Structure 1
Amino acid sequence: MKENHGAWSIICDKPAGASVEQCAMMQNVIAEDRPEVGLSVVVLKTADRKARILRILAPLGVLLKDGMELYVDSNNIGRAYFTRCFSEGCYVEVEIDDELMRILRAGKNAVFALRESADQDRVGIPIELNGFGPGYDALP
C-alpha cells in the first residue's frame, strides 16, 4: 500500500510484462446486514492515461442479468452490467466520465445495489466517498 486518503487506499503494483508500475485507488466493503456479500471497489487510470475506470468486484452468485445500481447521496446515478466473472467474483466496469467524476468527488456516501436472486430484494452495499477526490488526484 502506498498511501491512504480518507476511506480509500492507493495500491501500486507492476503487472507481469509491464514496464511501469500501475496504481489504483481501492476500498473493500461488506454489506452491514449480509456479511457474506462484499465488494472491492477500484478506481484507476488506464495505462495510456486516456480513460478513468470504475471497477467493482462482486462475489460469485450474484444475479448477473440485473447488473448493479449506483446511488450517491440517495440519488440513483445509473445501472451497469457485469462484464465477466473469474474465480474470485464478477466484475462491473464503467468508464468514469466528467459528470460521474464530479458526482463522486462531491458526494459523501455511495451505495452499490445488487441482487443475489430474482426472488430477493436488492442488497445495498455502502461505501464512503471521503477522500475520493484527493485520492484520485494522487494517482500517477
Structure 2
Amino acid sequence: MPIQFPRIFAAVLTGTLLVTAGVAQAQQKPPAHKPAAPAPAPAPAPAQQPAPAQQQQPQGPIKADLVPVQPEWTKVCGADQQSKKEICYTTRDFGAQADQPLLALAVYDPKGDDSKIIRLLLPPGLLLKPGFRFAVGAGALDAGEFEICFPNGCFAQAKVKAALVDQMKKADKMTIVVKNQVNNEVTFLLPLTGFGKSYDGPAVDPKVLEEQQKKLQEELQKKADDERKKLESQQKPAGK
C-alpha cells in the first residue's frame, strides 16, 4: 500500500521543489550586464509616532476581607472508603459579598489521627508553583500546596497538627496568601467566628445539608437571573 502524505506536507514539499528549481535556474543563467541605474533619492524619514500607552497592571500586594456565604459553619461526617475510619470535615464558603462565593475552606478531622488537613477551593488564575501560605490569628505563616485544578477553581491543602486546629477554634481570623498571574501577592482574610463550636459539635443531618445546599443554589441562581435581566434592560435602546 502506498504511503499517503497529508496534503499540507505535499504543499510544503511542492513549494520547496519550486524554490529549489528557481535557484538552480538562476545559477545556470548568469545575469546580463546592464548599466548601473542611478541610486534613487532617499525618502524622507516618516515622523516618529509616539508609542501607544500600555495599560498599567496593578502593582503591589492586594488584600481582601471576605465575609461568610452561609449563616454557619457546616460539619459533615462519614466513613473514609480507604481507611474505613470515620472522618469529619467542617467547612464554609467565603466571598467579597455574601452572595458572591469566592473560595471555600474545609478542615478535615480523621478520627484517632493527630494530623488534620486544611483544604481550600481557590479561584482559577493563580500561580500554582509558589503554592499558598496560611496563618491563624497573628501566628507565623505555614506553607501548603496546590493539588489539582478544574475550570472553576483549584484545590489546595496542607497537613497540620491538632494544635493548629485548636488555635483556629480560638482565633478570630485566618490569613490565606497566594500569588496572581502578575506575581503580586493576594491576601484573603477569613473570619473564624463560630468555627470551634461547629468543629466540636454534632454533624449536620444529610437531609438538612441537602436542603441547605438546594436553598443556597436557588438564591444564587435568582441573583444571577436578576443581574442578567438588569444588564439586558440597560442594553436595550431607549424608546423600545
Aligned length: 130
What TM-score, normalized to structure 2?
A: 0.45
State yes or no: 1:28 paired with 2:93: yes
Select the structure with the greater relative contact order (CA < 8 A; seq sep ≥ 6): 1
Distance in 1, Cα, partners of 2:195 & 2:147: 24
State yes or no: 1:9 paired with 2:69: no
State yes or no: 1:65 paired with 2:126: no
Deviation string 1:1-30 (CA, Å, 9 cap, x unpaired) is xxxxx85223467999xx999653111112
Q: Which residue of 1 aligns with 2:143?
A: 79
Q: Percent identity?
A: 23
Q: Determine which of 121, 130, 136 is the counterpart of 2:193.
A: 130
Rg (Cα) greater in structure: 2
5+ long unaligned stretches in structure 1: 1-5
> What secondary structure is seen at the aligned counterpart in 2 of 1:136?
helix
- Would you tell me which structure has more strand in proportion to its own residues? 1
Deviation string 1:21-80 (CA, Å, 9 cap, x unpaired) is 965311111257xx7x8211012223x653432110111221101111112224333121
Decide whether aligned partners of structure 1 residues 60 and 14 sit closer, same or farther in structure 2, where only a CA change above 3 A counts: farther
- Would you tell me which structure has more helix in proportion to its own residues? 2
Q: Which residue of 1 aligns with 2:224?
A: none
Q: Which residue of 1 aligns with 2:104?
A: 40
**CA contact under 8 A between 1:83 and 1:92: conserved in structure 2?**
yes
Question: Once superposed, which parts of structure 1, at least 4 consecutive aligned residues long, lie more than 4 Å away?
Answer: 11-16, 19-23
> What secondary structure is seen at the aligned counterpart in 1 of 2:180?
coil
Amino acid at match of 2:184: D
Q: Which residue of 2 aligns with 1:3?
A: none
**CA contact under 8 A between 1:68 and 1:79: conserved in structure 2?**
yes
